[in-house]
Structures are given as C-alpha cells and as structure tokens.
Structure 1
Amino acid sequence: MDSIDEAIIRCVVRNARATYSEIGREAGLSASAAKRRLDRLVKSGAIRGFTALVDPQSLAWHTEAYVEVYCTGNPTPADLLTALEDIPEVVEACTVSGAADALLYMLAKDIPHLEQAIQRVRATKPIDRTESTIVLSRLLNRPRLH
C-alpha cells in the first residue's frame, strides 16, 4: 500500500459515493486510473465494502446499548458471528479481552424493543448471559477506518 492507495481510502471513507473523478482528483490520478486502483483495493480485501452511516434517529431507533456477552464453553468468533448475524438490532459485534467474550452495539426503537432483542441474543447458543449499558447521550461519533 502506497500513499496513492491511502489517499483513495481516505476519500472513500469520507464519502463512499465519491465518483472516480473525485477519487482521482484527491489521489492525483485520472478517473480511469482511480477506478483501476480502487478495484485492486477491493479485490485485495484492503477495502471490504462500502457503506452508508445512518443516523439512528432517522430510523426512529432511538435506544442504543452496549451489551457484554458471556458464553458457555469456548466458542470461536465464527460461532459467535453465526449466533448473532440474524439479529438486526445487533449493529456491531466484536470479541474482546477481559471477562466478557464479546461486546455488542445494539440499536432499538425503545426499551421494550431493546429488551426483546437482548432476550433473542440470550436465547442463542452458546450465549449464557449478558450485561447491558444503555447510552444516555452521544458525545462524539467519528467515522472509523475499518
């Protein structure tokens, strides 16, 4: 990865809908060269996908929570992914160090909806229990490089 690839990545992280012309302008390339480089970054896996950052308020899902997940046995990350991927309220999930096996970021329209979603999380194997922290206010929310 060189400085041109890094410029391309910065551009699409800032605006996933940037045109090849815009990407090229930021990276010092023609639009066609920018397309080739971007395609190569996607093919290599350096860029895993393109996304939209959606304001949860616009979905009317106003309730946010971080949920620690504790499992029985020693599940693999793939086991946890399989257990969680069909629960749409789970927006992000990651394995973590410490006592918990995983940490989830969840969105729901209200507390009853969140409670139902957490119950669905708890009902999946290999999950044993959860501990939840509800977000009261969001102080900072920056886009991340993935």
Structure 2
Amino acid sequence: MDAIDEGILRELTADARLPYRELGARVGLSANAAAQRVRRLVESGTIRGFTVVTAASGPDGLPSGLEVFIEVRLADDTTNESFTAALTRGFAQVLDAVHVTGSYDYLLHAVVADPAALDQLVRRLKREAGAAQTFTRLALRA
C-alpha cells in the first residue's frame, strides 16, 4: 500500500459513495485508475465492505444499540476464508472480525439493535457462516 492507496482509503472513509472521477481527482489519478485501485483494495481485503450510517447512529458515526463481542469457534468443515467471506456478504452488524489464538477462532465486535437482534445474529452466524460455537459478551460502557 502506498500514499495514493492511503489517500483513497481516507477519502472513501469520509464518503464511500464518492464517484471514481472525484476520487481520482482528489488523489491525483484518472477515474479508471482510481476504480482499479479500489478494486485491488477490495480484492486484497484492505477494504472489507461499504456501509451506510443511518439516523439511528450515535454521535461517533457508529450504529447505536447493544455493543457486543462474540467469540466464535468454527465448525470443522469451515475455513477461515469461507467464514470471513460470509461476514463480508451479509453481516452488516459486525464491525470487526479478528482471527485470534486460544479456544475460539475469531473475536467479533458487533452492534445490534436489541437482544432479539443479537439472537438473530448468533443464529445466522451458525446457520450461514459456519460458526459451531459462540460466546457473547455485552459491553456495559465504552
């Protein structure tokens, strides 16, 4: 990653809907070159997704609700790659996923609206992403 990639990340963090023409102009590239760089950042996993911040978001721009940390042990037939791919395809509540050492494989940081949404998230992790076992902690305060 070079200074141009860092500029692209900075600009997209501020406005993920920025047209490639404008993005390129801001970082000194053509629209096509900017689009190619963004595709490469997505393919390498540097950019894991684009998100929407709604009116329900807190003052820091993060979704408001219950902040949770979920430890995930993968099923024997689930690979790290398939698990992280599943997360990027449809788990917008998951803000971060870290591959960790210890008795669990991943630590997820997520924000859900309420306990029912947490239950749905955990069930989906097991059904759609290959989680065999989970252990959830609720953040009481930041």
Provide, for residues 33-67 of structure 1, a one-character-per-residue CA deviation record: whole Å limited to 9, x for no partner: 43132023134x12456623525834x86122110
Cα distance, 1:51–1:135 mapped onto 2, change above 3 Å: same
Offset at residue 92 of structure 1 (A): 4.3
**Partner of residue 52, structure 1:** 51
Offset at residue 6 of structure 1 (A): 3.6
CA distance in 1: counterparts of 2:38 and 2:83, whole angstroms: 26
Letter in 1 for 2:122: I
**Partner of residue 62, structure 1:** 65
TM-score under structure 2 length normalisation: 0.62
TM-score under structure 1 length normalisation: 0.60
CA RMSD of aligned residues (A): 3.7
What residue ranges of structure 1 are gaps of 5+ in the alignment?
139-146
1:104 is the counterpart of 2:103 = no
Q: 1:114 aligns with which of 118, 121, 125?
A: 118
CA distance in 1: counterparts of 2:93 and 2:82, whole angstroms: 18
Offset at residue 88 of structure 1 (A): 5.8
**Partner of residue 7, structure 2:** 7
Q: 1:73 aligns with which of 73, 76, 81?
A: 76
Aligned length: 132
Cα distance, 1:34–1:93 mapped onto 2, change above 3 Å: same
Query: Per the alignment, in what secondary structure is the counterpart of residue 106 of structure 1?
Result: strand
Query: Per the alignment, in what secondary structure is the counterpart of residue 141 of structure 2?
Result: coil
Offset at residue 18 of structure 1 (A): 3.4
Aligned-pair identity in percent equals 24
CA distance in 2: counterparts of 1:100 and 1:123, whole angstroms: 18
Cα distance, 1:34–1:106 mapped onto 2, change above 3 Å: same
**Partner of residue 35, structure 2:** 39
Cα distance, 1:93–1:9 mapped onto 2, change above 3 Å: closer
Offset at residue 114 of structure 1 (A): 1.3
Query: Per the alignment, in what secondary structure is the counterpart of residue 71 of structure 2?
Result: strand
What residue ranges of structure 2 are gaps of 5+ in the alignment?
58-62
Letter in 1 for 2:33: R
